[in-house]
Structures are given as C-alpha cells and as structure tokens.
Structure 1
Amino acid sequence: MKAKKTSSFKKVMQFAKPYKNRFAWVIIFAISLSIFAAARPYLLEKTVDEYLIPKNNTGLLYYIMLMVIMLVMEVISQFYFVFWANVLGQDIVKDIREKLFNHISSFRMKFFDNEAVGRLVTRTVFDIESISKIFSQGLFMIISDLLKMFVILIVMFYMNWKLAFAVMLAMPILVYATRIFQKKMKGAFEEVRAQVANLNTFVQERLTGMKIVQLFNREDIEYEKFKEINKKHNDAWQKNILYNSIFFPIADIISSLTLGFVIWYASISILNGDALAEPGQMFAFIMFIGMLFNPLRQIADKFNEMQQGIVASDRVFELLEMEELIQQSGHIKAGHFKGELEFQNVRFSYIDDEEIIKGINLKIEAGQTIAIVGSTGAGKSTIINLLNRFYEINSGKITVDGVDINDFTLDSLRRQIGVVLQDVFLFADTILNNITLNDPQISREQVINAAKSIGVHDFIMSLPGGYDYNVKERGVMLSSGQRQLIAFLRAFVSNPSILILDEATSSIDTHSEDLIRTATETITKGRTSIIIAHRLATIINADKIIVMDKGQIVESGTHYELINRIEGYYKNLYYSQFAVETESEE
C-alpha cells in the first residue's frame, strides 16, 4: 500500500512540471516565512534582556520597530505562500480533470454499461478536487512547517542549548502519537471515500429515476435504503471525528506539559542561584514552544489532508490507467461516403460465450433504405452499435464502400453516420445548441434552413424563445415527439452519408409522427438509410426489409415479397403486430 501511495504521489507531481517556476516561488516564500517567524522571538529576547530591563528607550524603540517589520514580512510571506500554493493546486487539478474527462470520453460503451454514473461523477469532481489538497493543504504546508521547526530549533539551541534540550524531550512522544494518528486516519479516509461514492451513486440513480420511484410508490422503500447508506457514510465520518478528537487534545496536553516543564526547570535554576535563562530568553522560549509544537500538531492534520488527496488520486489514476479505450488504429480520414455497407460473417457478444450477433451477412447498396425488424433482443440495435464502433466485433468484418471500418479514424467515421435514437438525450441548453452540439462549423442560418426543409421550423418557432428556448435537463420541457424532431434535425444538419433511425417513431403522438414522416422522407433521400422500427408506416416503403431473430437474419425482401410467403416469420410478425396497427389507424 505504501508503494502505491508513493506511486500515486509521483504521478500527481508529474502534472506539476509545467508549473515548476511557480513551484519554486512557493518554496522560496515557505523559507522566508520560517526565517521571519523564528526572528520575532529572538528579537523579543534581545529587547527584554538588553533594552527593556536596562531601560534603554532608544534601543527599545529600535527593536520594537524591527519586530514590527519582521511581523509585516511574515504576513506578506504567508499571504504569497498560501495564495500561490492554492493556485498551483487548482491549476494541477484543472489539468488532471481535463485529462480524465477526455480519457473517459474515449472509453468503450461496454465500460459505461458496467460502471455506475455516480462513481464516475465522484472521481471526476470530488476526488479530483481532493487532489488539490496535496498542494494547498498538504505538501507545501508540511514543508513550511518542517522548515519553520528546523529554523526554530537552530535558533533555540543557539540561544540556550539546555532549555532547547529540555523542550526536545517531549518531541519523540508527539512524533510517535502523530505516526499512530496518521495510520488510523488513512484507513478512515479510504472508508469515507468509498461511502461518498456509494452515496453519490444512489442519489444520482434515484434522482434520475424519480418518476419510476413515484409511479410505483417506492418513496418509503427508497428512503429506508437511503437511510442505511447515509448511516454508513455517517459512521465512516464518525471514525474520522473520533481520531481527531483523541489526537489533538493529546498534542495540546504534551505542548502544555512541555511549556510547564521548561518554566519549572528554569525557575528551579533561578531559585538555586544558578540562572539557567535570562527573562528575555524565558519569554522567547515560551513563544518558541508554541511555534514548535503547533506546526508538529498541525503536521498530523496536514498529513490527513494530504492522505485524502493521495487516496483520491489512487482512484483517479486507476481510471486514467484503464485500458478501456476504443481501438483507434485507423489512419484513413473518411470523406463523404457513397454509402455501400457490408457485414461479412459478423459475430459479437456483450458477455463472453453469449453471442448476440451470430454470423450476420448483409449487403446494403448505396442510397438504399433498409428496414430491420424483429422481436425484442433480436440484435437490431446491436448492429447499429457495431457500425458506429461503440463495441468491437468478435470476428468478421464490416465495410463501408469496400473499406474496413477499423481502417477509418473513429471521429471521421462517426461524422458520416447520423443517428436518431428512440430515447433522445437533450442537454440542459438551448434548442440551437442541442442541434449543433456547439459545433462552430454549423451556423444558425444552416439550422433554420434545415428545419424549414424538413418541416419543423414552425414547431420550433412556436416555443418561447424559438431556437434559444432552454429545454432543461434531458429535454423535460418537450414532449417525446418534440424531442424526436430535434433529434432528426440534429442528424440532418450534420449532413451524414449514412442515416440510422433506431426505433425513432415508436412512442410519439400522431401529429409528431406526421412531421417525422415528412422529415424522414427528406433526410433519407439520396443517402443510405437504416430504419429500425416497430411501426408499419416507417418500414413498408423500404427498399428492403431485414428480419432478425435471435441474432440472425431469418428473412429479407420487400414488404410485399415477405407478406406473401407462406408461414414466413415477417408475415407472422405483420399479422401479430403491424396488422393490428393498420386496423387501429383505420
């Protein structure tokens, strides 16, 4: 575990390299702070013994002014030290967070299938923020305190080695107590971070699924679960509080006993006629004891802060070092495709030894509109995921215009594939930004012209603010049909070579379906299109219908070819589902 800590610390320090000049200034201010802090008690000793007791007013004023100057310099050094230490910590955190977010954005979909969103939020936000404590509250503060203690000890031994030695007698006890405290707190912090992640995950999921919670009257049940998780979180923090409550009073008692011992020791020597220290030295050592023991007491606290950052960095670097990236071995930058697609004996499984796609062979000519139908779990949507390379196939080959999709760069491949999903995700932003996804190459005029061409401009302008209407989180201000229309427009303005409609009209009202039907005719015209749907109106005019069952293609042909097959799979599907739809529309 210790090696792991050191390793994580070294990794964090790699991010400090671009800021080495700022790092150096922080150290310089830490050194100056320790010198100015130690100078004040020394000047106090000189003031009392050489000027206050002899009543030398001229020298007294001089030393008082000198102490004021030292105090001002100490304050200035403290300000710049704390300021630049915190700025450095935040800059490093910014760099790590950007790298982590970019890294997570490149993960395979399989990773997100298995990882709780709440845990990723904890890593990206809370854990990374804790890393800043390594610099702002941990490392530099410890360096500053150690430097201050080192300089103070030198000055103490220079002034009176006997009193300094008496002070040092208590140091091993406090160091030992600090070490025990540090070990206990490390385990407590690890437990706290684990419980914070669990709490974030639970809250994230319940808030996202609040509609389900309320629809099924799960409020009381979820509340009891939350209480249980919250109690574990509270218990973890209680350990933290207990250790702090034990250590800091012990440290204060040791400091007070040391102070009392030094005063008693010096007083006894004075009573015996062998003055161990002058009054000025006594005043100075009283100050020195506080300045020596307070940093040592606080170092334990700073180690806690630093440990929090290191424990958090362990979790962050665990993510950064995950080999979950999509393979990007392609070197061909995809231009505008003709749109010829071919699946050659493609096999795929989400879980090892449980194939979802079982040797698919499929060829789609450029410009064709293909409909894929089948029961739930047949593998329809999986085909689309494979084409976009959200998942890597187990074996076989997928080509576009005769070129293996693995040979294209990932970003250029996806730019040529427009997708409209059944569950449309909209960000808490304006309609315009949800359509362009903040792509600077797509202007407002292009969006408006595209909206007019597919018949959704009037719908958008009917909303308050039109294209600047904020749809809030996940587009809750819009109906499902309206969200689908936005998704159609989003796909259309990107001008893809290949269009995919993944059950895009399965849960919308009649008016929205009419708009989407018009939009579909417009955006599929002249480009290869794949439609996955459960509704007859969206597939009956397709150039070819592919029927899937249990990961295999069982039939293919036009609607009229398939409907006339005796005991055909599509025919049974049509009369069990699509025919009912037709009768209801009549």
Structure 2
Amino acid sequence: MKYFRKILPFLFPYKKYMVFNIVFNILYAIFNVLSVLAFIPLLGILFGKAEKVYVKPEWNGIKKIANYIQNSLNYKITELIDNEGAQQALLFICILTLILFFLKNITRYLASYSLIFLQNGVVRDIRNTVYNKITTLPLSFFSESKKGDLIARTTSDVNEVEVSFLSTLEAIVREPLTIVLTLVSMLAISVKLTLFVFVLLPVSGIIISAISKRLKHSSAKAQKETGVFLSILEETLSGLKILKGFNAEEQAEEKFELSTNRYYKFKNSVLKRKRLASPMSEFLGTITIVIILWFGGKLVLGNSSDLQPQDFFGYIGLFYLILNPSKAISTAFYAIQKGNASAERILEILEAENPIRDAENAEEKLNFNNTIEFKNISFKYKDEYVLKDFSLSIPKGHTVALVGQSGSGKSTLANLITRFYDVNKGEILIDDKNIKEITKKSLRNLMGVVTQDSILFNNSVKDNIALGVDRVDDDKVIEASKIANAHEFIVDLPEQYETNIGDGGNMLSGGQKQRLSIARAVLKNPPIMVLDEATSALDTESEQLVQKALEKMMKNRTSLIIAHRLSTIQNADSIVVLRKGEIVEQGKHEELLAKKGEYFKLVTMQNVLS
C-alpha cells in the first residue's frame, strides 16, 4: 500500500470532487439499507404478523437510529392498517420502496459522476508529471533505460493506476459505509445472529487474502515485459531499413514473440487470480448464507425466540446487501495489489535523483565576454576515465576544433560544456565563473548546438527552426534559413515554412535536415556554438552547402567544433588533437602538418593534403 499512498497527493487538487463523492456515497449507503428495511413491514403484512406500534416513537440519539426508523415505519403502517386497511398499507410500502430505490440509484450516479473529474484529472496530472520529470532527467538516466519501457510507464502503467487505484476509490468509500450501516441494522434485528455472522466473515477474508499474495509479483513482471516489447517495437520502427536489408525480419519477429509470450504467461497468471476474486467471495458468501439460514431458522422456529419470520427474511436481505460490498472490497484489494506494481514503476521515474541540478545560489549569466576554460577536468561514464586532467582555454571569438580517433573524448567535451553531464574532477569556467554556479537555463541560452544527428520533430519547418523561441518572428526565421542555405529548398516545399516535415523530418534529405538544424541554431543567435560532427553523415555536395552555412553562422562567434572530416576545420584558429582523453598536439592546420605527427597521420588517412 506504500505506493498507493504516494499516489494519493495527486488527488488533493480535486478534493471537492472527493467530498461530493463521499457525501453522495453516504446517502447511497443510507438509501440502500433503507430500501431493504422497508420490506420488513411488507413481509409482516403478507405473513399477517405486522408488528403494531401505537405510540409514536421518540428520538433518543444516533445510537438508536435503527430502532427509531423501524418503529416509525411500524407506527405509520399500524395507522394505515387500522384506519384504511392492509391494502392501503401495502400500497404505501410499495411507493416508499420505489422512492428509496430511486434515491439510492440517483445518489449512486451522482457519486460516480463526481468521480469522473477526479479520475481523469489525476491521470492527466500523473502523465504530465512523469513527462516533465523525463525532460528534466540527465542524459545518463536514459543511457541505462529503454525508450519502450519509459513509454510503457507513461501510458500503460498510468492507465493501470487509473483502473486499479482510482476506480477502487469509490469502493473504498462507499462499500465500507454500506457494510457498517447494514451491520448496525442487523444488530438491531438480532444481536445473537449478527455475532454468529462475525465469526464466519473473517474466515472468508483469510482465504481471499491467501489467494492474492502473489498477485503484485506477477503484475510487476507483466508491466515490465510491456516495456520490453514496446522497446523492441520502437527499435524495429527505427531500424526497419536495416532489418530488411539484412533479411533479419524473422530474427526480429522471434525476439518480439518471445517477449509477448512471456507477457502472455504473466498476464494469465495475474488475471487468473483476479478473476477468482469475485466467484470465490460470492461462493464463500453463499456458504455463509446457508449456515445463517440454518442457524437463524432454528432461532425463528424456537419457542423462546422473539425473532419474527419477517425480521429474519429482512435480515437475510440485509446480509445479501453485505455480499456485494464485501465482493467489491475484495476485488478492490486485488486491484490495489495489481496497481501497486504499476505505481512502483511510475514512482521510480518521479523519485529518480537528478545529479545535474542548479546550485542553491546559482546565478543567471546573460553574456559571454572573455574566455571558456576547461581546467584540469577528468570525466568517466562508468569505470574508466574518458578525459584525464584535461585543460584547454578558448578566447572569445575563436574557433577551436577537436580532432582524434573515436573514443578520444571529443564529443564528451561537448556534453560537459552544455552540462548534459558533470565533470568528476576539475571545473569548466566561463568568464572565470564555474558553470555549476550558473543556472542550466542561462548557461544553455549562451549556446547553440548542432549535432551529427539532425534531431527534428513532427511539426512544421517554421516550428522546428523556432524551437525554444517564445515569440516567432517570421522575418527572422527566413533570415536564419538564408544564412543556413535552407531557404532555397524550403520555398520549394508544398506549404513552404508551414510544411509538416514528418516524424524525425523523414520528408527531407540528410543535408536538408542538417541545414534546418543550423537555421535553428542561427535563429537562437547565441555567442557560443558547439558543433558535434555536424557534417560527418553527409554526402560531398550536401557537405559543401552545410559547410558554407556553418562558416556564415560562426562569424563573430566563439565555436567549439568536434570534427570527423578534417577538410572542414582547416581555417580554425586552433586545432586540438586528442588521444585517449589527453591533448597530444595543438596548433593551426599548417603548423600541425609541418610537425608530421598525429594530426598529419589523420589528414593522410583522409587524403585531404592539398
């Protein structure tokens, strides 16, 4: 239940709906019990043993409300029988019963109606909170998580919380009230018989509890497996071209089917126990009814008993009234056990620690004036250091290129300066200010990022270029596109800047997507540019167009370029050659060529010597 309790704070904004639900459920429970009690005088009339009360009953407090209601009803029946005959009394009881059933059902509807807004509001808020938390978590969190699993937690797990938790709220409020009021009425009819029932009911509870012990464990496995096959589906959709190209469809199908078969087994295990809850509780209730019929029948037939036949049949009716609430509570107990597994998975995200957060007194930095400095930094993703005691200074307005073999730490520096990751040792300074002492938002506002993979969204061209911009100025979007050499192809699109480019920009070529990414960075107009292998995935023609766009973009800006194609960095103010996280050479293009060292080897391998 601890996960159930942690979900409860999401209910607080909707407490007025909860209050309405409780009020209407209280009324429902009252009318539900009264609708059964009203039959007792009716049975008395039919049996010819109606209990006659000639003195109008007096109110003696809430503790004796059941006797007061029963005696008031009997007093009214006595008046009708004596003054107008038994048939008129029968008509009165029928009309009263009809009214009570109407009030019972209308209050039940109003209780459920008020819960609609609470349920849907809580589900919306949980889903929004999970999404917002996902956007704030560091990249390191996602390197250890599967996309499909995160999607499952945001969709199917939240749905399970709605079905398992929120749908049981009504049962938790309404059914215990019905049981309490019914038991009070049963005690008023026969204390001895009710005490006998109290001995029988716990036995049913113990049996039901024993069946549900393994339900949460099976539910957790089923929900986890949902994340697995959604991850496989996401991978398949992303890599469908490769799967087809390598004739690997059957392997993918087999992997997916193994996961869905596991889910099939786990789900069967869960549902077998869940489906057992209702028939088991009903059968146990029937056994209890038979025992009560035997025991109560003996009391009615006994000479010394004051239990009348109509009271006994009314008592049986009241006991049947307990069966459905008891069944609903046992089903709710099962549902909560099942929902706990999903709530746990949701809370794993909501309670995940974010090590990259703003310091308590973090400052807003709005301008970059002098120098970026990497000062004796060391960093590791897991166990082995990728950068070791690395130092580098980048004056304002300079273009610095980082080159080296794969795994030398180039892209890591781009991730560190933007605080996608934090250094393990040392510090990164902007104008002698540690970036950990600057708010993440203001730090990233100083930077434009263009990566090797053009990350675009299923939206219009204009919205993709204006990503993160509060007020979109169409003229500035067009100006940024022209600088990025993108305007020419954009105006040829069906709806120009309003054209939707599809999922991941799949309606565009690689070069077009990259130029949109550059236009996005240009529109932001930051003083610092971080280019992470921005041309490595392009063909020669596209590379030339993108390179010209980059050169225009980098004018009057400080740029850090992670380069794979060395032909793109010959004009850099400084080229830094990395190997295994350390600087092995540094200088201009011509200087490094003359040394005939590590840089010369890289250039020779790429055959770009002029």
Shift of 1:22: 2.9
2:27 alignment counterpart: 32
* 1:478-557 → structure 2 map (5 Å cutoff): 478-557=508-587
* d(CA) in 2 for partners of 1:225, 1:392: 36
Deviations 1:395-416 (A, max 9, x none): 1221122322122111110011
Q: Does 1:399 align with 2:399?
A: no
Change (3 A) 1:17 1:245: closer
Per-residue deviation, 1:173: 2.7
Name the residue aligned to 2:603: 574
**Inter-partner Cα distance in structure 1 for 2:86 and 2:495:** 80
Aligned to 1:45: 40
2:372 corresponds to 1:341: yes
**Quick one: which amino acid aligns to residue 382 of structure 1?**
T
Q: Corresponding residue for 1:290?
A: 320
8 A contact 1:202–1:226 mirrored in 2 = yes
Deviates more, 1:214-223 or 1:250-259: 250-259
1:51 Cα deviation after fit: 7.1
1:215 aligns with 2:245: yes
Instruction: Give the secondary-structure state (helix, strand or coil) at the position aligned to 1:179.
Output: helix
From 130, 143, 167, give the equivalent of 2:173: 143
Aligned to 2:382: 351
Task: Please give the alpha-carbon distance, in whole angstroms, between the structure 1 residues aligned to 2:228 and 2:107.
Answer: 42
| TM-score between the two structures when normalised by the length of structure 2 | 0.87
Change (3 A) 1:280 1:437: farther
Q: Note closer, same or farther for the CA distance 1:361–1:266 as it changes in structure 2 (3 Å cut).
A: closer
Q: Does the CA contact (< 8 Å) of 2:402 and 2:560 recur in 1?
A: yes
Quick check: 500-509 or 418-427, which moved more? 500-509
Distance 1:199 1:280, change over 3 A: farther
In the alignment, the residues of structure 1 paired with residue 607 and residue 136 of structure 2 have an alpha-carbon distance, to the nearest angstrom, of 40
Deviation of 1:573 after TM superposition, in Å, equals 1.1
What secondary structure sits across from 2:586 in the alignment?
Answer: strand
Cα-to-partner distance string for 1:379-409 (whole Å, 9 max, x where unaligned): 1111111110111112122112232212211
Q: 1:126-525, aligned counterparts within 5 Å?
A: 126-133=156-163, 135-161=165-191, 164=194, 167-168=197-198, 170-263=200-293, 280-281=310-311, 283-329=313-359, 331-338=362-369, 340-352=371-383, 354-437=384-467, 439-525=469-555
1:120 maps to 150
Q: Deviations over 1:174-194 (max 9, x none)?
A: 212222123232333233223
Q: 1:405 to 1:438 in 2, by over 3 A?
A: closer
Gapped regions of structure 2 (runs ≥ 5):
49-80
User: Using the alignment, how far apart are the partners of 1:375 and 1:131 within structure 2?
Assistant: 49
Distance 2:217 2:566 in 1: 60
Structure 1 residues 288 and 501, CA gap change in structure 2 (3 angstroms): same
Aligned-residue offset at 1:441 = 2.6
User: For the aligned residues, what is the CA RMSD?
Assistant: 2.6
How far apart, in 1, do the equivalents of 2:433 and 2:288 lie? Answer: 80
Contact 1:535/1:578, CA 8 A, preserved across alignment: no
CA–CA distance in 2 between the matches of 1:343 and 1:477? 40
Checking the alignment, whether the CA contact within 8 Å between 1:368 and 1:529 is kept in structure 2 is yes
Closer, same or farther in 2 for the Cα pair 1:198/1:243, shift >3 Å? same
1:13: how far off?
A: 2.4
Unpaired segments of 5 or more residues in structure 1?
A: none
CA contact (8 A) 1:137 1:306 kept: no
- Secondary structure of the 2:213 match is helix
Aligned residues: 574
| CA–CA distance in structure 1, aligned partners of residues 607 and 392 of structure 2 | 24
Q: Percent identical across equivalent pairs?
A: 32
Shift of 1:548: 1.4
User: Quick one: distance in 2 between partners of 1:38 and 1:187?
Assistant: 38
Verify the 8 A CA contact 2:24 2:108 in the aligned structure 1: yes
Task: Give structure 1 regions of 4+ aligned residues with deviation exceeding 6 angstroms.
Answer: 268-276
C-alpha displacement of 1:250: 3.0
